[in-house]
Amino acid sequence: MGSAKNSTSAQRKARIEEMRRAEASRERRNRILTIGASVVVVVGLVVGGVVLIQSQSDKDSSASDSKGSGHFVTGKDGVKTWKGTLGRTHVAKTVKYPMEPPVGGDHNQVWMNCNGDVYTKAINNMNAVHSLEHGAVWVTYNSKASDADVKALAEKVKKTPYTLMSPVEDQKDPIMLSAWAHQRTVKSASDPDVAKFFESYVQGKQTPEPGAACTNGLSQ
């Protein structure tokens, strides 16, 4: 009995020892898992944060110190976006722009009034670019545009603050719409892309100087 008792006690001791070992190893494993999971969460948050911040600063990166060099990229919606630099310096001299009508670059210190202003004679590009900087959409046409379209567009512009309209004879299409760094051609005044362009770009996200005025500048 005594020996049996002893053996049982030894067995129990061994089993307890084993259980303790198992528990210790389970605890160790759980600790590792907890630390591992925490590391994954922290790394995930850090990486996510960095990606988020970088994607935002990428959006903000636009050079503002040169006259403008780059090229247009046409989007699926037909809007051409200028990829490259567009200067924003006020200059008194004549600026030669790499596109017609210009969509940005160095410009005259006086903006062209763009409070729904319709000009029947050509205006100076250097003043118009300043209006684009203030968030205006510039409607331009040449002699190939029909009188009816020109009249209908003028009516729309007159009702839309932060737009202006003028003839630009040497542009490539009859009717073109321009905003800072963006441009498109439309088929007619009733083309639905006119309203879409206005909604996107009149004081739109592309505006380098949100809140700046379209009044008390230059008029014809």
Partner 1 sequence: MKQVGWIAGTSAAVLVAAGAITYAVAEDGGSDSAVPSAGSADAGFARDMAVHHQQAVEMSYIVRDRTKNEEVRRLAYDIAQTQANQRGMLLGWLDLWDLPKTTSDAPMTWMGMGDMASGKDGSLMPGMATNTDLKKLNTLSGKQAEILYLQLMTSHHQGGIHMAEGCVQKCTVGVEKNLAQGMVDAQQSEIKLMADMLKARGATARN
* In the complex, least distance from residue 13 CB atom to partner 1, rounded to whole angstroms: 27
Of 137, 125, 70, 135, give the one whose Cα is nearest residue 93: 125
Tokens of 136: 């205006």
Number of residues that bind partner 1 (CB under 8 A): 34
Binding piece for partner 1, criterion CB under 8 A, among 65-73, 97-105, 144-152, 204-212: 204-212
* In the complex, least distance from residue 206 CB atom to partner 1, rounded to whole angstroms: 12
Whether residue 102 contacts residue 125, with contact meaning beta carbons closer than 8 Å, is answered with yes
Q: Determine if 46 is a binding residue for partner 1 (CB under 8 A).
A: no
- Considering only 10, 37, 50, 148, the residue that binds partner 1 (CB under 8 A) is 37
Tokens of 192: 């639905």
Distance of alpha carbon 127 from alpha carbon 119, whole angstroms: 13
Residue 26 or 172 with smaller CB distance to partner 1? 26
- Map residues 180-199 to x or -, x wherever contact with partner 1 holds by CB under 8 A: ---------------x--xx
Q: Determine if 59 is a binding residue for partner 1 (CB under 8 A).
A: no
In whole angstroms, how far apart are CA 1 and each of 10, 93, 153, 170?
A: 14, 115, 111, 116
